[in-house]
Amino acid sequence: MTLRNIAIIAHVDHGKTTLVDELLKQSGSYRENQRVAERVMDSNDLEKERGITILAKATSVVWNGVRINIVDTPGHADFGGEVERILNMVDGAIVLVDAAEGPMPQTKFVVGKALKVGLKPIVAINKVDRHDARIHEVVDEVFDLFANLDATDEQLDFPILYGSGRSGWMALNPEGPMDQGMAPLFDLVMRHVPEPTVEEGAPFKMIGTLLEANPFLGRMITGRITSGTVRPNQSVKVLAQDGTLVEQGRVSKILAFRGIERQPIELGEAGDIIAIAGLTKGTVADTFCDLSVTEALPAQPIDPPTVTMSFIVNDSPLAGTEGDKVTSRVIRDRLLREAEGNVALKIEESPDKDSFFVSGRGELQLAVLIETMRREGFEIAVSRPRVVFKKDEATGDLLEPIEEVVIDVDEEFASVVVQKMSERRADMIEMRPSGGNRQRLVFYAPTRGLIGYQSELLTDTRGTAIMNRLFHEYAPHKGDIAGRRNGVLIANESGEAVAYALWNLEDRGPMMIEPGWKVYQGMIIGEHNRENDLEVNVLKGKKLSNVRSSGKDEAVRLTPPIQMTLDRALSWIEDNELVEVTPKSIRLRKTYLDPNERKRFEKSRAIEVGAA
């Protein structure tokens, strides 16, 4: 059977996964009476909850006797490592662009990578039925984007389709016809995407692209066979990028993607995307090959991580009360296992073995890892995200990561966004109307200035702004950036919070806990109205006497506390604070729980700053 391998790439929320749903449905991959969930490719719980694709996944459909392997990729810049590897597996790409939003930062990122590896993309303008669609302007913007990314003349001559993934149609014109469904897209893939190029007569070779742990088959590696064939029980070896031998073993099972299911097959042929099981050490970017092969296949270089966090063994007084995985050994094994399958993550162990430095593409990528570990029963304390600095080899200057930030906002709020971004050392490079009384603001901003800005942006714009970020370059350090302006309220004793005490403290600032919650010395229970930190007693109840008051005691009415989600907590804390994450709770605390230790640390830090 002839083959086509394509990836669907686009910015977050432009409709990739919904389009794949329709392609599966219209190609006959489902039985007539089969019940199928919406966005079937988003199989992970966190993907369903957040409405975003986190892990790249493969599927396949058969159209007019041709098997089309389709890879659904993440649209968020933090998971760009997945996209970079996927492009090695495919021969073509469908670039999906929203008819109203146009090409966004992540579109630029993935299209740039696709053009670099020589793919000839198909452009699909999606959501043409939106009331604010601006189809012709978006097509011009896509052409300008390709030109700016140094596309070849052949790549610039890209075919265009228009349609709506949700309504299930694509056509050569924005007006339709709509009754042909996805047939025009399938036919265009057949004509425009070449068959996989394979080395005729060469032995089996495949580069690992995706890694997963299967409860029944163990480690499974997905990739595209570059040359040769592979069968179950065949002896193979694994070569690292430098050609050194990683391991030698037998393939226990070969699985191929057939619709949304994976089915065992007896023969994997060159050009097909398969998953193999039975090898215990081979990982992503390694070459899986016949015993006669001596050279590894070249792999695409991955962009470096820009944000790092400390994962620390939880040492609070409540440690071990809500989770069962609390020791440094268990946390270390879990982090190393994650780094194996996610090449955009980097794990370093601290000298004291009680904490780990985890570096990734952005706060969202690390927050998803923390949330996944939390659901698996882990208890950890994590620090505020910090950026990864570099030194300029020529001049010795300190370099920091700069991001391209695109903010779509209502015109009335544009000025406050520009002011806040300038306070964060951002340079505005473009400001233009984006339709519907909205402005599109484009900035180059240091990554450290953007940590924690998302929630503040939504507050400033009454929830109407949309911010998209993308790593741009390393540039000279931009200078100091002011952090959080308010101090915190810190519990000075351990016990259970009392409603009367919280009610008396409401004048000091908004609370983050409720009556009956367990607290401990050094735990943050609220935000102070002033700049300094304040230790308070939340255990103090009302004094009772045997003298009845003439008026009836009024019931205590408390203001609802601030709900601290994991994402918000990570961006809110300062450098001397931690987020304690357990399967049941998210608590904020000071790094040093004892007030005397805290004072000593603050004094030593003030001396260091003065000396610097």
pLDDT at residue 79 in the model: 57
Number of domains within the chain = 4
pLDDT (mean) for 384-399: 86
**Beta strand 518-519 pairing with 495-496:** antiparallel
pLDDT tens readout for residues 210-235: 777 777 888 888 888 989 999 999 99
The annotation status of 542 as a binding-site residue, yes or no, is: no
In a domain, 297, yes or no: no
Q: How high does pLDDT run on average in the chain?
A: 84
In a domain, 198, yes or no: no
- Domain endpoint, select from 258, 289, 320: 289
The annotation status of 128 as a binding-site residue, yes or no, is: yes
**Cβ neighbours, 10 Å, residue 585:** 16
- Is the domain of 225 the same as that of 143? no
**Confidence band of 90 (pLDDT split at 50, 70, 90):** confident
pLDDT at 76 over 70: no
Q: Provide the CATH number for the domain around residue 570.
A: 2.40.50.250
Inter-residue contact 99 to 125 (CB < 8 Å) = yes
Gyration radius (Cα) of the chain, Å? 27
- Is the domain of 120 the same as that of 184? yes
The annotation status of 18 as a binding-site residue, yes or no, is: yes
pLDDT (mean) for 522-539: 92
- Is the domain of 508 the same as that of 470? no
- Domain of 254, in residue numbers: 205-289
pLDDT tens readout for residues 105-133: 777 878 888 888 888 899 999 989 888 88
- Is the domain of 398 the same as that of 426? yes
In a domain, 171, yes or no: yes
Q: Provide the CATH number for the domain around residue 283.
A: 2.40.30.10
In a domain, 216, yes or no: yes
In a domain, 417, yes or no: yes
- Is the domain of 110 the same as that of 220? no
- Is the domain of 177 the same as that of 91? yes
pLDDT tens readout for residues 15-48: 777 888 888 787 765 444 444 444 444 445 554 5
The annotation status of 129 as a binding-site residue, yes or no, is: yes
- pTM for this one? 0.76
How far does CA 431 lie from the centroid of its chain? Answer: 27
Sign of CA dihedral 96, 101, 106, 108: positive
Residue 175's SS3 state is coil
> What percentage of the chain exceeds 70 in pLDDT?
89
Q: Which of 279, 280, 200, 281 is nearest to 235 (CA)?
A: 279
Amino acid identity at 515:
P
pLDDT at residue 551 in the model: 45
pLDDT at 159 over 80: yes
HEC profile of 365-409? HHHHHHHHHHHCCECEEEECCEECCEECCCCCCEEEEEEEEEEEE
pLDDT at 53 over 60: no
**Cβ neighbours, 10 Å, residue 380:** 27
From residue 225, how far is each of 207, 235, 297 by CA, in Å? 7, 16, 11
Paired tokens of 262: 């994976």
Q: Which of 335, 392, 380 is nearest to 359 (CA)?
A: 335
- Is the domain of 433 the same as that of 501? no
Inter-residue contact 80 to 109 (CB < 8 Å) = yes
Q: Provide the CATH number for the domain around residue 453.
A: 3.30.70.240
Paired tokens of 603: 């004094």
The annotation status of 126 as a binding-site residue, yes or no, is: yes
pLDDT tens readout for residues 405-455: 888 888 999 999 999 999 889 999 989 887 778 888 999 999 888 887 877
Amino acid identity at 369:
L
In a domain, 310, yes or no: no
Q: Give the chain's end-to-end CA distance (angstroms, integer).
A: 68
pLDDT at 256 over 60: yes
pLDDT at residue 609 in the model: 60
- Is the domain of 15 the same as that of 74? yes
**Confidence band of 10 (pLDDT split at 50, 70, 90):** confident
- Domain endpoint, select from 476, 508, 536: 476
pLDDT at residue 568 in the model: 84
Q: Which of 567, 560, 571 is nearest to 526 (CA)?
A: 560
In a domain, 397, yes or no: yes
Q: Provide the CATH number for the domain around residue 40.
A: 3.40.50.300
- Is the domain of 505 the same as that of 443? no
Sign of CA dihedral 161, 162, 164, 167: negative
Q: Which of 3-12, 412-421, 595-604 has the highest mean pLDDT?
A: 412-421
- Is the domain of 8 the same as that of 58? yes
Strand partners, 410: 438
- Is the domain of 73 the same as that of 108? yes
- Domain endpoint, select from 421, 456, 476: 476
The annotation status of 181 as a binding-site residue, yes or no, is: no
The CB-side HSE value for 45 (13 A sphere, CA atoms) comes to 7
In a domain, 116, yes or no: yes
